[in-house]
Structures are given as C-alpha cells and as structure tokens.
Amino acid sequence: MRTRLQLGRTPAEPTPVDADIEVRIDSLRTLLREARITALTGAGMSTDSGIPDYRSPGAPPRTPMTLEMFLSSPEFRRHYWARNHLGWRHMDAARPNDGHHALTRLQRQDRLTGVITQNVDMLHTKAGTRRVVELHGCYRRVRCLDCGALSSRQALADRLERLNPGFAARVATRGAIEVAPDADTTLTDTRDFLIADCERCGGILKPDIVYFGENASRSVVDQAFSLVNDSDALLVAGSSLTVMSGLRFVRHAHRTGKPVVIVNRGATRADDLADLKIDHYCSTVLSALADD
C-alpha cells in the first residue's frame, strides 16, 4: 500500500471560531470519555509553536516542494538547500506548544494510543509523546537518493557551513526570511550557495521528508493504519485533510464505525464524516480535553 500525496495549495476561507466552545468541548469530552484515541495531526497543530501552515484561514498562498521540482536541475537543488540551510534551524529551535503537551498528558492517562502526524517538525517527540508515526518524514534526517545512506541534518549543516562560510549573515541583509511548514524559506537570492553531495557515493542528498507528489513508504502507512485499528476513536487536530495521505485514515475510521472528531481552523475535506467538528484552536481544545 502506497500513499500518493495530492498537491493542494488553497488556504481555507476565514471562518469565525465556534462561539459556543464550552458546549462543544463538553460534547467532545462526552464522546471520547471512555475511548482509546489515536490522534492525526497536521500543520495547524504547530502554528502556536511559530511554524506556519499551508491552509488555515489567513495563511498566505504557498507553493510546497514537489519531488519533480527537486529533481529537475542542480540549480533548483542549490536554491532549495540554501533556503533549507536557514529554515531548518528555525524548525529545530521550535518548542512544543500546549496542544502537543496535552496529547502527551492524554497518553500518560492511557487515553491516547499514539499519534499519526503529517508534520515533519518532531514536536510530538519533543513533547514526550510515544508511538509517533511520522507519515511525511522528519526534518532531522537526510537521505541519499542514490545509495540510500541516512545522515543527520546537523552533520549536513556543518558541511554546508564549511562550504558557505558566513552565508546566513550575508542573506540577512537581503530582506525578511519567512519559514514554511517543511523547513523551506522564501529566500530568493541563492546564487552564491554551494551544495553538498553524498559523502559515500556522491549521489543527490534530499531531506528525509515526503514531498508533494511523492509516496509515503508502505511500512509507515501500515503503522498508521495499525494505530487506528488499535483505537476506539480518531481525533484529527490541525489538518484540513486536503491530501489523501491523511484523509484515508479518517475514511477508514468512519468505515469501521469509530467516532471521528475534527478540531481545525476552517473547513476540512472530511467534515461530512465527523461525529463532531470544532472550529477552534488545537491548543485550547486539546488542553481542555486533557484536563478533564
């Protein structure tokens, strides 16, 4: 089984948060009180940690990285690695927010079986949550597309720093730098950046992240389905479910009779499958659920 991502870039239309939030949270508590929960999280989970998302109300239009773009030319890869050389540090410095810590508390209460995350930011792991399935990979790893060797992003950063001494200081004079959810940035002037190849075989290096248009591995998808099957309910937090990689788990839970709860700012692709939809901020709702 392989999951193909579908490219979707349109932010949700602005919507007001649910005014009757206390009533909605009471309904959430009632629905999930005796349930063993699996959480499916998206970029909206991490916005309170300073990492922007793609589609929440008010989010600026973004163009996510695709595998075709990355492989298209050495010049494009140079452009990408220059931007990532700055962006990954911002993601590495990010810290879990109240929503991440709330899921960890739910797990310690034996109410959460684990987390399937579409995020690559490792914030669930940083918060102490166990059994985290990283559906789209992780920013801290780098993979060679030729020989498959894995290395750490820090090790590559050290190599890139030696190849490009003072690069970060130079680009700081070229205007504001905006970081995207995949650790990319909006930096445009990268003509003086040198990239590094695989130290083992000289092949192309790529972040160990599933790009748009790329396939999540079968083993990872199977782990995610196993989490859903081992739970009584599915809690979606901070995902518009625009791409099939996340939507398929909601459809599976619905087909197998498990309650589905969605907490997200704006509409999602699975609102019609939800037993309860709360249009509000993840940190607020999840904290209230964990403190029940």
According to CATH, what is the number of the domain 19-51+96-136+215-292?
3.40.50.1220
Q: From CA 271, how far away is CA 238, in angstroms rounded?
A: 13
Q: Does domain 62-93+137-209 have CATH number 3.30.1600?
A: yes
pLDDT at 1: 30
Q: Do 269 and 241 meet the contact criterion of CB atoms below 8 Å apart?
A: yes
Residue closest to 241 by CA, chosen among 2, 43, 58: 43
Q: Do 115 and 286 meet the contact criterion of CB atoms below 8 Å apart?
A: no
Q: Is 170 annotated as a binding residue?
A: no
Q: What are phi and psi of 42, to 5 degrees?
A: -130, -170
Q: Do 178 and 229 meet the contact criterion of CB atoms below 8 Å apart?
A: no
Give catalytic status of residue 136 as yes or no: yes
Taking the model in full, what pTM does it have? 0.86
All structural domains of the chain with their residue ranges: 19-51+96-136+215-292, 62-93+137-209
Q: With 0-12 CB in 10 A as exposed, 13-18 as middle and 19+ as buried, what is 13?
A: exposed
pLDDT digits (tens, 9 = 90+) for 223-238: 999 999 999 999 999 9
Annotated catalytic residue, options 85, 101, 124, 136: 136
Q: Is 53 annotated as a binding residue?
A: yes
State which residues of the chain have pLDDT below 50. 1-14, 175-176, 183
Q: Is 148 annotated as a binding residue?
A: no
Q: From CA 124, how far away is CA 132, in angstroms rounded?
A: 7
pLDDT at 215: 84
pLDDT at 14: 47
Residue closest to 76 by CA, chosen among 176, 190, 160, 166: 190
Q: How many CB atoms lie within 10 A of CB 157?
A: 17
Q: Is 120 annotated as a binding residue?
A: yes
HSE-up (13 A, CA, CB side) for residue 114: 17
pLDDT digits (tens, 9 = 90+) for 88-129: 888 899 999 999 999 999 999 999 999 999 999 999 999 999
Residue closest to 266 by CA, chosen among 63, 11, 47: 11
